[in-house]
Structure 1
Amino acid sequence: MGLIEVVETCGVRSLHFGTHPKQSAMSLAEPDKLELSYARAMLAGLLFKPEPRKILLLGLGGGTLARFLFNHFPECRIDAVECRPAVAEIAYEYFGLPKHARLTVHVSDGNEFVCAEADRREAEYDHILVDVFDHQGLAEAVNQQDFFSASRRLLHPEGILAINLWGTETQSLRQSMGLLNLYFERRTMRLQVPGRGNVIGFGFGERLEHAEIADLKQQAKTMELLMGVEFPRFLRLLSYSGWR
């Protein structure tokens, strides 16, 4: 399943899958903050759905995003899916992932999980956050029609899906955004992460009202103060890729 490494450099503990890019990172001095900008950018959907009751994370990594959401939304239940048991163990041991009834880690393939769950339950997740990478890039299994179709069925009609993509992998990015536009009927946005190769794609549920970006400026400032995430900057960088 590939090499898994935990490395500490300059006060930052990071998780690597045998390559230089960080899969997760945590400041040892400020462990409750999100260290990686792409992880913070994935939260831009909170501007449109700010009080989640249930969240699905596909790809646990070091668990920093799961822990951040767990701490900031005490009434929210979180399901996290990770295909490698060793990664989940590392998240608990080295990155402080809490063990709590509100936070369930499922050791499973992300595509298999969403397809199975979509067949047996009603749409219920307010946010689905997809960050499924291996040492080669975006996991091929999630860049498929059945994955996007099942994820759409699992999402609440007023919910938002966010997927972390590599902007430098042009063919993969085009395929992912094409599938996102197809299954979310062009109710989509995208965000190029500043200074990074990451592009975050967003798909919106059919009952989520269209919001003008200008109307969210004050909310973005308030949320920045509460969560330590640069929401105003992300708001400026969001673009409608299909939704009008």
Structure 2
Amino acid sequence: MEPVTFSESGGIRYLHFGSELIQGAMRIRDPDEIYLEYNQQMMAWLLFLETRPKMQIAQLGLGTGALTKFTYRYCPSVTSTVIELNPAVIVSARTMFNTPDDGRRLKTIQVDAKVFVADPTNHHKFDAIQIDLYDAICDGPSASSLRFYRDCFQTLKSPGVMTVNLFSRHKSFDINLNNICEAFDNRVLLFPESHDCNVVAMAFKGPLLEVEWQDVSKRAKLLEQQTGLPTRSWVKGLSQVNARQESQLRI
């Protein structure tokens, strides 16, 4: 297991795996805020799925608990299952990054994410999956095979949405994107690249989604008012960078 280390600068606390590379961040005065742009975008399933009682979200990779804390605060009807292999990350999320302890709405499982999604007992169980799996080298996701993404597809309910953090300037990007497209029958959208070279991919399962962007924008405006996420800018980015989606979202 990689060693877990920390640093602080300008009111921001950072998580590292034994190197200077950043694995997550938290604004100390606002621990429930999602500080990093790509982390924010991994909540984009909210644009297409209404939260409701008994809704199940799986988060593969805990990091600083940014997604966990945000969901816990702003989606009170949702139950989150967090998958994290490194026990030190689980401890640090709770002691250094204000992540809630497990309870009725939150469960943390220490297991390899590939094993979790391959387990048939977890199939057709989750409405959304958020994947942020990186090791100390940070040169690409630590789970990227076609088998892995097919298992993720099986783990989703229908309809369901998967968001994945990819690293755009590495050979792993094309490998992951091709495997996601094959596993999800090309029903994939990409966000514009963020300043730190991260690109979030969003994949869909279930009936054909056909909606006017102006309707997505209305949903985004409501979410921005409720959560503070920059959701209206997401709509513009998604409509502009994805081919054949400029006038209407059809996926």
Shorter-chain TM-score bucket reads over 0.9
Q: Which residue of structure 1 lines up, in the alignment, with residue 100 of structure 2?
A: 98
Under a length normalisation based on structure 2, what TM-score does the superposition of the two structures give?
0.90
Q: Does 1:54 align with 2:31?
A: no
Contact 1:189 1:241 in 2 (8 A): no
Gaps of 5+ in 1: none
Contact 1:48 1:211 in 2 (8 A): no
The one-letter amino acid of 1:93's match is T
> How far does residue 34 in structure 1 lie from its aligned partner after superposition?
0.9
3-state secondary structure, aligned to 2:189: strand
Q: Which residue of structure 1 lines up, in the alignment, with residue 154 of structure 2?
A: 153
Contact 2:129 2:163 in 1 (8 A): yes
> How far does residue 20 in structure 1 lie from its aligned partner after superposition?
2.8
Q: In 2, distance between residues paired with 1:115 and 1:178?
A: 20
Q: In 1, distance between residues paired with 2:222 and 2:45?
A: 15
For 1:107-186, what aligned pairs fall within 5 Å after superposition? 107-116=110-119, 119-137=120-138, 138-140=140-142, 142-169=143-170, 171-186=171-186
Gaps of 5+ in 2: 245-249
The one-letter amino acid of 2:217's match is K
> How far does residue 120 in structure 1 lie from its aligned partner after superposition?
2.2
Q: Does 1:237 align with 2:240?
A: no
Overall identity of the aligned pairs, in %: 27
Q: In 1, distance between residues paired with 2:236 and 2:196?
A: 16
Q: Which residue of structure 1 lines up, in the alignment, with residue 23 of structure 2?
A: 23
C-alpha root-mean-square deviation of aligned residues, in Å?
1.7
Show structure 1 runs of 4+ deviating over 6 A.
none
Contact 2:27 2:33 in 1 (8 A): yes
> How far does residue 2 in structure 1 lie from its aligned partner after superposition?
2.0
Q: Which residue of structure 1 lines up, in the alignment, with residue 6 of structure 2?
A: 6
> How far does residue 210 in structure 1 lie from its aligned partner after superposition?
2.8
Q: 1:241 to 1:46 in 2, by over 3 A?
A: farther
> How far does residue 90 in structure 1 lie from its aligned partner after superposition?
0.5
Once the two structures are overlaid, the 10-residue window that deviates more, 186-195 or 83-92, is: 186-195
Q: 1:208 to 1:51 in 2, by over 3 A?
A: farther
> How far does residue 225 in structure 1 lie from its aligned partner after superposition?
1.4
Deviations 1:26-63 (A, max 9, x none): 11111221111110011122111131611000000111
Q: Which residue of structure 2 lines up, in the alignment, with residue 203 of structure 1?
A: 203
The one-letter amino acid of 1:173's match is F
The one-letter amino acid of 1:184's match is F
Deviations 1:103-133 (A, max 9, x none): 11111111111112xx124412111000000
Q: In 1, distance between residues paired with 2:149 and 2:173?
A: 14
3-state secondary structure, aligned to 2:202: strand
The one-letter amino acid of 1:180's match is I
3-state secondary structure, aligned to 2:73: helix
> How far does residue 212 in structure 1 lie from its aligned partner after superposition?
3.2
> How far does residue 101 in structure 1 lie from its aligned partner after superposition?
2.3
The one-letter amino acid of 1:73's match is C
Deviations 1:206-244 (A, max 9, x none): 226233333211211111111111001111111436865
Q: In 1, distance between residues paired with 2:220 and 2:166?
A: 23
